[in-house]
Amino acid sequence: MTVEDPAARFLRDGVLHLPGALPAETLHAAEAAYTWSIEHPGPGAARLPARGDGTFYQDLANPAALPVYTPLVRAPAIADLVTTLFGQPDAWFMYEQIFLKENGTTRRTPWHQDTPYLPVEGRDLLVMWITFEPVDAAHALEFVRGSHNGPLYDGSRFDPDDDTAPLYGTGDFPPLPDIEAARAAWDIVSWDVRPGDVLLFHPSALHGGAPTHRGMRRRTLSLRFFGANARVAQRPGMKPVEQDARPLPDDVHPLTRMRRVPPGAVFRDPGFPSLRG
């Protein structure tokens, strides 16, 4: 395997840009799933503080979305790419996340890692970021190359007045550095991204998004996957079922059930769709 191999580059850098990775039919299916999510808000839907007059909307891990997204993530253009980067045939879809920025100015998405928000850890974790409008590098998602191998920081709580304000503040994780205040000190990368391209990154990679300005619209979809080596990770406030035996609703998202599983256990639930059916 050479450094030019996509799987090797992903392992080394924690982020990969693949132009034209999605054929037209898969891109159209992704946009249809995104539109379904916009029209069917789930329990995680929220308008984030925009620090401007625009809309900054997200939704994620909607239990009702799993049957909508399962055919999409099993499309060969997606399933084959994920399993190739994992280097093994088994992979599962974790959840979807949609973002909408429009109707005026919005704040930049603060620098953060995704894994502090999630009860999962491991090498074979992957986020696929898809845009439905052309985005130039100055306004696309940015990454600190190789940071998936570095420390795991506390999450950002998306405070409109302080991007580094901690999610937990318990001392379990070091505080987020102020990357935006010292950009030259970090190996920051971004790309021009067009519909049909994908950005692939490990959720422990530090990343953030540029703001939008009046006249701009940015619709993006993130699809999140895990492989066989993923394990349950302890996060502040998590209580195994032995400590919190309250029954969960039948229609709860499997990600919620994983927060009741003891740390170190295999990250697996029958509710997570296998990419191979």
pLDDT for 93-106, tens place per residue?
Answer: 999 999 998 877 77
Task: Check whether 133 has a pLDDT greater than 90.
Answer: yes
CA distance 89 to 256: 25
CA distance 163 to 107: 10
Of residues 24 and 105, more confidently modeled: 24
Band the pLDDT of 109: cuts 50, 70, 90: confident
Q: What is the pLDDT of residues 252-267, one digit of tens each?
A: 999 999 999 999 999 9
CA distance 159 to 226: 29
Average pLDDT on 183-211 reads: 95
| Residue 3, pLDDT score | 44
**201 close to 16: Cβ distance less than 8 angstroms:** yes
Q: What is the pLDDT of residues 44-72, one digit of tens each?
A: 999 877 667 778 899 999 999 999 999 99
| Residue 213, pLDDT score | 77
Best CA proximity match to 34, nearest among 252, 185, 223: 223
DSSP 8-state class, residue 103? S
Question: Collapsing DSSP states into helix, strand and coil, what is residue 89?
Answer: coil
Question: Collapsing DSSP states into helix, strand and coil, what is residue 52?
Answer: coil
Q: What is the pLDDT of residues 201-243, one digit of tens each?
A: 999 999 998 777 777 888 999 999 999 999 999 999 887 665 6
| Residue 2, pLDDT score | 42
Radius of gyration of the chain (CA): 18
| Residue 245, pLDDT score | 66
Task: Check whether 23 has a pLDDT greater than 80.
Answer: yes
Structure tokens at 213: 């300005």
Task: Check whether 244 has a pLDDT greater than 80.
Answer: no
Domains delineated in the chain: 6-258 (2.60.120.620)
Best CA proximity match to 230, nearest among 181, 182, 197, 265: 265
Band the pLDDT of 182: cuts 50, 70, 90: very high
CA atoms within 13 A on the CB side of 255: 23
Pairing verdict, β 91-102 and 55-60: antiparallel
Of residues 60 and 158, more confidently modeled: 60
| Residue 151, pLDDT score | 96
Q: How far apart are the first and last CA of the chain?
A: 29
φ, ψ (nearest 5 deg) of residue 68: -75, -40
Task: Name the average pLDDT for the chain.
Answer: 92
Helix (H) or strand (E) holding 59: strand 55-60
Average pLDDT on 188-209 reads: 97
| Residue 61, pLDDT score | 97
Supply the pTM of this predicted model.
0.94
CA distance 64 to 57: 18
Percent of the chain exceeding pLDDT 90 equals 78
